Amino acid sequence: MPDKRWQSLTAMFFDQAAKMGDTPLLCAKKDGRWQSKSWREVAETVTKLARVLERLGVEPGDRVVIVSENRPEWMIADFAIMAAGAITVPAYITNTARDHLHILENSGAKAAIVSTKQLARTFLKAAHQSDELEHTITIDPVKLEQQVNVGVHHWDQALAAEEADIAHYTRRARDVSRHDIACLIYTSGTGGAPKGVKTHHGSILHNAEGAIEIFRELGLENNTFLSFLPLSHAYEHTAGQCWPLTIGAQIWYAESLEKLATNMAEAKPTVMVVVPRLFEMLRTRISRAIEKEGGAKAKMFNRAIELGTKKAKAEPLTFMEKLENIFLSLTVRRKVNKQFGGRIKALVSGGAPLSPDVGYFFEALGLPLLQGYGQTESGPIISVNPPTSPKAHSVGLVFPNTEVRIAEDGEILVRGDLVMKGYWRDDKSTAKTIIDGWLHTGDIGTFDEDRHLMITDRKKDIIVNDKGDNVSPQRIEGMLALEDEIAQAMVYGDRKPHLVGLIVPDTEWLRDWARENGKDADTMDFNADADLHRAIDKAVTRINGRLSNLEKVRKFIIAQEAFAIENEQLTPTLKLRRHVVGAVYGDRLEKLYHRAKAKST
């Protein structure tokens, strides 16, 4: 197992390919069955595609965009681009033509690799308007109705004309430095226009080396990763693709979020990189199904949660409880684990804060859900909970060879090889973010007595009321979203006397409630329905009972539709775009304060 420090991602890949040979590496479902590609096959295809890019005029330092769902060709394209000395620019498949054009213009990309006909249709609208893009390679065949301003080439045809030359590109990889830029990963745009983060080879390798050390106790041999978060996001790109390569693991590609449960049972993954929102939804779905089933099964399940949570919190169990807990592991937990494939060693959560209640829930079911922390600008991982001593209220221990300190105002500052080289073509933002070598994360945090890092809020998301008091919106929103009636929430109230909120009702709860009350959930005007408002107000009141006066949500409105990627209110990794939601609902939220003033006068 690797203890060496590779100088580049390409050197690492070709080194591993030489060692692993015909061992399976990438696996995806095609024509209804799983098909795998060996390390050798992947390395050969990487070198062929690198040659194709060079023949199209791609030179060292040029940028090449990837627009694709997670599939073997994504990883092949990424490493072919780097093997040619170029820089990968991942783009989300949910991007609009306008989004693509921003990335093309900002990155100055010379070429692009696009997967499906549908994605190509959207991308080529932007490509046609780009001044610098010259070529697009489509993985699936695409028939153009009209000529566009870029050359369009088919993947299979282009590769068929090339010979694999692993030895040549292995030698070239030795000339790449850890300081060279590997990719430009654009931020998700939670606070405005996405910025290109210059991520160097050493940043990603630093993350992979840190993960090897922290997870060594789980066993680094014979691992299988199931990839389903967008590879265009730094978290999946590093933890779901590059880290598995450094430990010689297999990577299986999930078909879709809807088929994730089936794919887990088929792939039998040992490690999965996840986001909290997915497991918040799974917790709600599992709990609701058990509640509906009722009877002895529900009692056993609830008892497994109760005893498992006590154990996870290091609370003492009586002798009889220990025996009962063993029995529940052989029955309830074994059944749940089997639904996840039966081999899970760790579910590593990142991208957003994880509610401790959700962490304890899955830990109680025998599924270790380990929260980590980081951001695109740091490779992206800064810390993670170790498997042997996780703390659900923390984001774990700082990665090896990483310096972290807490500034006077509570901001987390980071220094080390993981820190980006800056923002692409944006020296002003770079200078504000990296000061004297320290990455200013914008997150507020502290260390506990065991040096576990705890995040209390986003610095720029903190709400400051009209009296100057600071309030953490994410904490309140997370508590609200765990109530049965509520799927999503946004808290509002900067420079205001108190907080108000925007509530998205849970779909299943809403349908059940509407049926019981003789209403049609599909045609209701949520804010005009006083009965619905009263029903949701009960949930808000329950949460208010657990909050300080500063944190209480005094009034709220109900959103007619969910925050979603499609309406641009969520990023592709399910983070809330506050500025977008605020633009849609700001006037109505402001009126909640005007009503309060009118009543007081």
Q: What SS3 state is found at 383? A: strand
Contact 56, 111 (CB under 8 A): yes
Contact 100, 126 (CB under 8 A): yes
Can you read off the two tokens belonging to residue 37?
């590609």
Kindly report the average pLDDT of the chain as a whole number: 91
Q: Look at residue 600 in the predicted model and tell me its pLDDT.
A: 45
Mean pLDDT of 171-191: 88
Q: Measuring CA to CA, how many Å separate 376 from each of 130, 418, 422?
A: 26, 10, 11
Given a cut of 90, whether residue 462 has pLDDT beyond it is no
CA pair distance 538, 483, nearest whole angstrom: 10
- Domain 275-458, CATH: 3.40.50.12780
Mean pLDDT of 398-416: 95
Q: Look at residue 284 in the predicted model and tell me its pLDDT.
A: 85
Strands, E assignment, 133-215: 135-138, 151-154, 181-186, 196-200
Given a cut of 60, whether residue 513 has pLDDT beyond it is yes
Q: Which residue has the tokens 């300190």?
A: 405
Q: Look at residue 60 in the predicted model and tell me its pLDDT.
A: 97
Q: Measuring CA to CA, how many Å separate 311 from each of 317, 325, 335, 372, 519?
A: 7, 9, 19, 21, 44
Given a cut of 80, whether residue 338 has pLDDT beyond it is yes
Q: Look at residue 282 in the predicted model and tell me its pLDDT.
A: 86
According to CATH, the topology of domain 9-200 is Rossmann fold (3.40.50)
Listed range (178-192, 392-406, 425-439) with the worst mean pLDDT: 178-192
Q: Look at residue 13 in the predicted model and tell me its pLDDT.
A: 98
Per residue in 283-313, pLDDT (tens digit) is 888 888 888 888 999 999 999 999 999 998 8
Per residue in 365-379, pLDDT (tens digit) is 999 899 999 999 999
Can you read off the two tokens belonging to residue 304?
């497994």
Q: Look at residue 4 in the predicted model and tell me its pLDDT.
A: 62
Nearest to 478 by CA among 486, 469, 467: 486
User: With pLDDT > 70 as the criterion, what percentage of the chain qualifies?
Assistant: 96
Contact 222, 248 (CB under 8 A): no
CATH topology match: 9-200 vs 463-600: no
Contact residues for 38 (Cβ-Cβ < 8 A; gap 6+): 20, 21, 22, 23, 24, 25
Given a cut of 90, whether residue 361 has pLDDT beyond it is yes
Given a cut of 90, whether residue 440 has pLDDT beyond it is yes
CA pair distance 58, 54, nearest whole angstrom: 5
Domain assignments of the chain as residue spans, ordered by start:
9-200, 275-458, 463-600
Q: Look at residue 190 in the predicted model and tell me its pLDDT.
A: 52
Per residue in 537-569, pLDDT (tens digit) is 999 999 999 888 889 999 999 998 999 989 989
Q: Look at residue 596 in the predicted model and tell me its pLDDT.
A: 52
Can you read off the two tokens belonging to residue 210?
């840190």
Q: Look at residue 146 in the predicted model and tell me its pLDDT.
A: 63
Provide the 10 A C-beta neighbour count for residue 16.
19
Given a cut of 90, whether residue 148 has pLDDT beyond it is no
- Domain 463-600, CATH: 3.30.300.30
CA pair distance 156, 163, nearest whole angstrom: 13
Given a cut of 70, whether residue 86 has pLDDT beyond it is yes
Top pLDDT among 66 and 144 is at 66
Per residue in 118-133, pLDDT (tens digit) is 999 999 999 989 989 9
